Structure formats: structure tokens, C-alpha cells
Amino acid sequence: MSENEHRKKVEKRDAHKPPGTGCVTRCQGGKYVENNAHSHRWNAAEQARAETAVYTIPLNNNASIPSWRKPALVRLHQEGGLVGRLRKNAGNKLKPFFRQWWPFPHNAHHIIPMSVLWQNIDVAVAKAKKDPGKMFDCVIDGMLTEPYNHNDRPNMITLPTANRESKALGLPQHLEDKALDHPSYSDVVAAQVRAKLPPKYGPLATAVDKAEHPDTPEYVKVKSTLVPIAEATYRAIIALAKEKKLAGKTLDESAQEISALAATLGPQA
């Protein structure tokens, strides 16, 4: 059961109405949406702006786009990323982060990958043998009403997608080829989530199977499980980046080193 399979079902819920609510899908798609807490790309950029010791590349300069034509400019304007006119013009500018190639080639990476979250949602839902549909509703509504936002800080980080910036910033390179994404990294994070999250849903699954679950249930809380994992992993990446220990490495090549340091760290005080 993938994120996309349930995206529409999840996003139409009243508990998923930005701002200030939970979110467990990429509801803003791949867009950078300023001041929108559900925009994973905006949150990743805000994280980068706060880490001035690591992101030594200027992050807030506009890019000159004098040759862009009207269709592309209209799309950029609709997203809020255009400074200039809706026609080809020497003075047109692109705001930073509205495209993944500026201010440097980058990926807005979920510290706990979205795929890992949904794998664990599947495991939790499967604990209810008689009514998985009801269990799915209880799991998702619990996350949304807590609220838990998987696209929010500290679960986001901006990673370079080119080797040059990886070496310059000390951050691991996020490969863009889906076949070469980051399976090893996902595996080490998934192991932490799998050990802690699905077991919390045992009593809820029992209640659902016995049809004892009330209309207004006391939902399972997930923040106290997921946020510490994200915070420790984020802090490990930043610490290793400051020492340039991940420079020129892919996220997969860095996975064990990140995991080992994260295991010694806790949430940010």
C-alpha cells in the first residue's frame, strides 16, 4: 500500500487542512510553497538557511533567467517564484529554491523517508485482521489529529545532488536516479522505526477486531517515537558535514556512519 494509493483519501480528511495540521503525504507535490508547513521543500530550505556553518553557498540570491519564455514564466509566477515580467525580459529573476537547480542542485530529503513511514503504516494496519479499512482510518486519523507532520522540520534536510556541492558542503549526495536512490540509508532508518512504531498499535488492532473501537477513539501518538529518530539522524548528518566526513559520498555510502553517530545522540535540547 503506497503513499500515492491513499493520497487522495488522506488529503480530503478534515484533519488534513493546512496550516497547523498533520500531514503524511507530499500534499504540495514537488512545489516549493513559501510559509506552508506542509511544503516539504520549503521546510528543507528553512533548515538549510539555519545551518550557516554547513551551507556556505549563498542561499538567498535570485537567479537571472533572461531567456525564459512566457509559459515557463507563467508557471513560475503562479508558484510565487518569479521576480519580473510574464514575458522574456533581461531583468527576470528566479527566487531561490523554487527550482531544484537553484541556489545549487539539491533534493529536499525526508530524514525518515516517506516510503519508510508508509511501510510502517502498512505493518500497523495489517495488525487488524478483520477490518483493515477501519484500522487504516484509525492509524491515519490518529497521525493527522495529533497532529504529526512528516513534511515538517526536523524531518527535512536539503542535500546536494551533485558531487561538487557534496564536497564543498560536506553533505552526502542525494542521487536522483530512482534505481540508485538510497536503499541502504532507508534500511537503517527503517530498522529504528520498525522496532518502535508498529508495536504501539497492538491494542488498537485488538479493539478494532473486536469492534470495540469507539467513534471518537483515543488515537495512538507517534510524535514521541518519530521525532527523536528524525532529530538524532539530522543532528548526525549536520555534525558529520561540519567535519567534512561525508564529502563526496552518496547518502547510501554514508548510511552506516550517520546511523552510528545518531545512535549516540538524542533530540535537540
Q: What is the pLDDT of residues 45-100, one digit of tens each?
A: 999 999 999 999 999 999 999 999 999 999 999 999 999 999 999 999 999 999 99
pLDDT, residue 179, reads 63
pTM of the model: 0.93
Least confident of 83-87, 141-145, 210-214: 210-214
H helix runs in 30-179, sequence order: 40-50, 70-79, 114-126, 132-145, 163-169
Please state, in angstroms and rounded to a whole number, the distance separating the CA atoms of residues 105 and 118: 27
Q: Does position 43 have pLDDT exceeding 70, yes or no?
A: yes
Closest residue by Cα to residue 30 from 108, 92, 103: 108
Instruction: Please say whether the beta carbons of 136 and 10 come within 8 A.
Output: no
pLDDT band with cut points at 50, 70 and 90 for residue 235? very high
Q: What is the mean pLDDT of residues 101-118?
A: 97
pLDDT, residue 15, reads 76
DSSP for residue 103: S
- The Cβ-side half-sphere exposure at 61, using a 13 Å CA radius, reads 9
SS3 of residue 5 by DSSP:
helix
Domain extents for the chain? 3-56+105-262, 62-95
pLDDT, residue 215, reads 63
pLDDT band with cut points at 50, 70 and 90 for residue 16? confident
pLDDT band with cut points at 50, 70 and 90 for residue 177? confident
Instruction: Please say whether the beta carbons of 15 and 9 come within 8 A.
Output: no
pLDDT, residue 211, reads 80
